[in-house]
Amino acid sequence: EADIYQTPRYLVIGTGKKITLECSQTMGHDKMYWYQQDPGMELHLIHYSYGVNSTEKGDLSSESTVSRIRTEHFPLTLESARPSHTSQYLCASSEFDRGVDGYTFGSGTRLTVV
């Protein structure tokens, strides 16, 4: 049973629209992450957070922004969507940096910008 939830699962939106992808976890994990998965299936880290009010950019430059006001919630926002933002977005959380538990992933949001 998934303890990390992403909504919506699928989203088709017009260019220029503002969108927020939701991610919530019920495990009390401090660390949360957003990955962008391109059509070739490669995963790129775009944002991460180590706790409330902590956000950092990842390895792949992204025009999106994130916030972490509550431990369980880590939304990702695109102020003005473009076709180049079309991708699958995966949210994850973990308890430890290098711990044995690895990451728990949500089911993803597949975003299409037309």
Which residues contact another protein (rule: CB under 8 A)?
Answer: 6, 33, 35, 40-43, 45, 48, 56, 58-59, 90, 92, 97-108, 110
Please identify, using beta-carbon distances, which residue of 14 and 39 lies nearer to another protein: 39
For residues 86 and 94, what is the distance between their CA atoms, to the nearest angstrom? 26
Please, how many CA atoms are within 13 Å of residue 30, restricted to the half-sphere of its CB? 7
Give the residue with the Cβ less far from another protein, 73 or 108.
Answer: 108
Q: CB 10 → another protein: shortest distance, Å?
A: 9
- 77 - beta bridge partners? 20, 65
Contact (Cβ atoms closer than 8 angstroms) between residue 31 and residue 49: yes
Of 54 and 80, which CB lies nearer to another protein in the complex structure? 54
Residue 25: both structure tokens together: 């976890």
* Residue 80: CB minimum distance to another protein, A: 26
